[in-house]
Amino acid sequence: MWETLRKHRHPYLFIAPYLILFLVFQLVPTIATVYYSFTEWNGLRPPRWIGWRNYQLMMNDYMFSNAIQNTFRYWIVGAIGIMGLSLLIAVLLNSKVLRSKQFFKTSTFLPYVCASVAMGLIFRMLFEEHAGLVNEVIVSLGGSRIPWLTTSAYAWIPVVILFIWRLTPWFTMIILSGLLNISDEYYEAATVDGASGWQQFLRITLPLLNNILFFCFITITVDAWRLFNESHILSGPGTSNTSLFELMYTSAFTNFKLGYGSALGVVLIVILLGISLIQFMVRRRTGEI
Amino acid sequence: MSYKTKEVLRKLVVHGLLCIIVAFCLFPVLWMSIISFKEVGESITGFNALRIQSPTLANYKRLFELIPIWTNLLNSAFTSIVGTVTTLFFCSLAGYAFAKFDFPGRNALFYFVIATMMISPEVGAVPMFVIMRRVGLVNSLWSLIIPRMATAIGIFYLRQYMLDIPDAIIDSARIDGCSEFGIYRRIVVPIAKPALASWASITVIARWNDYFWPLLYLRDSSKYTLMVSVSMLPVSDGLSTPWQVVLAGTTLVIVPSIILYLVMQTYQKSGQVAGAVKG
């Protein structure tokens, strides 16, 4: 035992910082979250064990069901929007006829660089009911003003638009790198055989991007379930557009219900673990790791 | 349709669509910076926002009165830069170990790293706060740096790149009597420079834009990062800060990251970061 440790001390030493940090700042907090989720705790007095009560409360909490519903929406609408747009932009950027490629690449990546908090403030103004540009455009097209952030029904829309706007560039870049790996020969052969551009996209591009698209979907899923900044800055009335993650933050650190907040944290842990497991199995099956 | 008209049409569609997309990408940022130079009295309703009658710096002056900008800026710069440098060091060290050493438990440990990649540490925010209070790091900038000095995703990315370093170079250095850390510093780091550079640019921007952790740990305005101060701008001036001033704040946050990105663009080819993902 000691002999192997000594013999391989260098790699172990190189990995040790990660393992220690992981232990202290990830494993311990994760396990502690599970423990706290069974307690009632306001941060001042010591936590009191109350069994499954927090989870029972959760089942009857309309704020929890709102948050789940909202996050689900952000996930599905976000994934469809981001994947669709980034695929489109990547294909356009990869087009043979495109001039000044570098300019288009650089400027379509810019949204990803912009802080979501700052963009949230800007979107808040763009979606303002009476002065915002979005309503101004709608009115000039003959529609009527929409109370985006002041009614429950619409409040989730600006959040998901910001989510899509900011993350699309990242996935565009990943998909573009996948497109660059597809050999031209496939397309040349298909053109000789008389396949149209659309057929080539469906029969060659999409199947060969399979792995990358799957990776993108998983990453978007994780990003959607941990969405916080966007809905925190673009908050609508009550919990109308609160994400699950934001609900955890406000329960624990604004309302000081640390036990209940931890229970929400456990729900998130379970969801993320599930996603992680799926991607792990798929990666293993495709021989990536 | 002849082949030629088809080509022209295709060119038109590609460029047209991309121009629309670029407009959507750039518009909010341009719009924000224009409004930040407008006088508070001027109309910012709808398209009026884009007509400046008398450009002014008053909004920026007001911003400097409302929040301690220089201190916040320094805090942001410190956490971003120190955070990036430390994470690059520890991630590349671990990535090198996983890529180029053969040791018992390597595969198990690496699976473990990948398995933890998707679980974001934010879910443990409650105990994290307790731990930080215990070690006296609440309200300290180090609370933003230390927990993320080595991240699973960073290790994974750098390891993928380092796999391609030829073993022969490392072995010959070892035979020449170079120490293990010396090999890392003199051979592995220089070869992995492109990967390190692109990972650095992603990390530095992500840290600059970080919001959740600073919001959680930092307790008074002299410790805030710029992101936290700016997020509180709408309520800093008696609950109704003029939009012009808020947008001056967001401009101040976004412009440095855009400049940084453009500078880095000139040094490296875009798309390199995505190399971590195999097709």
Q: What is the mean pLDDT of residues A149-176?
A: 94
Facing A33 at nearest CB: one of B123, B155, B257: B123
pLDDT at B272: 47
Q: Count CB pairs under 8 A between chains A and B.
A: 281
Residue B171 confidence (pLDDT) above 80: yes
Domain boundary assignment for chain B = 11-56, 59-276
- Report yes or no: B70 at the A interface, CB cutoff 8 Å: no
B278/A211 Cβ within 8 A: yes
- Comparison of pLDDT for B143 and B119, the residue scoring more: B143
B231/A32 Cβ within 8 A: no
Facing A110 at nearest CB: one of B26, B275, B279: B26
Q: pLDDT confidence of B118, banded at 50, 70, 90?
A: confident
- Report yes or no: B258 at the A interface, CB cutoff 8 Å: yes
- The CATH code of domain B59-276 reads 1.10.3720.10
- The structure tokens listed for A121 are 């403030």
pLDDT at A289: 59
Q: What is the mean pLDDT of residues A71-94?
A: 96
Q: What is the mean pLDDT of residues B253-278?
A: 70
Q: What own/partner pairs with CB < 8 Å and gap ≥ 24 does B102-109 have?
A: B103/A8, B103/A11, B103/A12, B104/A4, B104/A8, B106/A11, B109/A15, B109/A19
**Is A87 contained in some domain?**
yes
Residue indicated by tokens 């966007």: A230
Residues of A in contact with B249 (CB under 8 A): 118, 121
**Is A198 contained in some domain?**
yes
Residue B240 confidence (pLDDT) above 70: yes
pLDDT at A278: 85
Residues of B in contact with A262 (CB under 8 A): 126-127
ipTM reported for the complex, 2 dp: 0.89
Suggest the residue from B8, B90, B118 to mutate for an interface test with chain A (most A CBs closer than 10 A): B118
Residue A12 confidence (pLDDT) above 50: yes
CATH number at residue A172: 1.10.3720.10
E strand segments, chain A: 39-40, 48-49
**Is A186 contained in some domain?**
yes
Q: pLDDT confidence of A288, banded at 50, 70, 90?
A: low
Rounded to the nearest 10 degrees, how much is the dihedral formed by the CA atoms of A157, A159, A161, A166?
180
Residue B278 confidence (pLDDT) above 50: no
Residues of A in contact with B261 (CB under 8 A): 109-110, 113
**Is A216 contained in some domain?**
yes
pLDDT at B237: 67
Facing B115 at nearest CB: one of A111, A177, A276: A276
Residue B274 confidence (pLDDT) above 70: no
Domain range for A224: 57-111+154-253+260-285
Region of B46 (left: φ > 0; alpha: ψ -120 to 50; beta: rest) is left
Q: pLDDT confidence of B270, banded at 50, 70, 90?
A: very low
Q: What is the mean pLDDT of residues A90-113?
A: 92
pLDDT at A249: 95
CB A210, CB B278: distance < 8 Å = no
Residues of A in contact with B275 (CB under 8 A): 177
Q: pLDDT confidence of B268, banded at 50, 70, 90?
A: low
CA neighbours within 13 Å on the CB side: how many for A98? Answer: 20
Instruction: State phi, psi for A44 to the nearest 5 degrees.
Output: -100, -60
CA nearest to A52, candidates A263, A273, A250, A257: A263
**Is A30 contained in some domain?**
no
Facing A113 at nearest CB: one of B7, B24, B257: B257
Q: Cβ atoms within 10 A of the Cβ of B44, count?
A: 22
Rounded to whole angstroms, how far apart are CA atoms B269 and B276?
Answer: 15
A-facing residues of B in 233-252 (CB < 8 A) are: 233-234, 243, 246-247, 249-250
Strand A39-40 and strand A48-49: the pairing is: antiparallel
Facing A262 at nearest CB: one of B26, B126, B227: B126
Residue B211 confidence (pLDDT) above 50: yes
- Which tens digits make up the pLDDT trace of B5-52? 888 998 999 999 999 999 999 999 998 988 889 888 777 777 777 777
pLDDT at B23: 95
When mean pLDDT is compared across A107-121, A181-195, B194-208, B230-244, the lowest value belongs to B230-244
CA neighbours within 13 Å on the CB side: how many for B201? Answer: 25
Side chain identity, residue B30? L
- The structure tokens listed for A269 are 């842990």
- Tell me how many domains chain A contains: 1
When mean pLDDT is compared across B69-78, B111-120, B125-134, B215-224, the lowest value belongs to B111-120
E strand segments, B18-159: none
- Which tens digits make up the pLDDT trace of A204-231? 888 889 888 988 998 899 999 999 999 9
**Is A224 contained in some domain?**
yes
Q: What is the mean pLDDT of residues B194-200?
A: 90
Side chain identity, residue A285? R
pLDDT at B276: 41
Residues of A in contact with B116 (CB under 8 A): 22, 26, 276
Question: What are the angstrom distances between the C-alpha of B51 and each of A122, A126, B55?
Answer: 18, 16, 10
Percent of chain B clearing pLDDT 90 (strictly above)? 52
- Which tens digits make up the pLDDT trace of A106-134? 999 999 999 999 999 999 989 988 888 89
B11/A104 Cβ within 8 A: no
Rounded to whole angstroms, how far apart are CA atoms A25 and A15?
Answer: 16
CB B83, CB B207: distance < 8 Å = yes
Percent of chain B clearing pLDDT 70 (strictly above)? 94
CB A244, CB A268: distance < 8 Å = yes
Percent of chain A clearing pLDDT 70 (strictly above)? 99
Residue B162 confidence (pLDDT) above 60: yes
**Is A131 contained in some domain?**
no
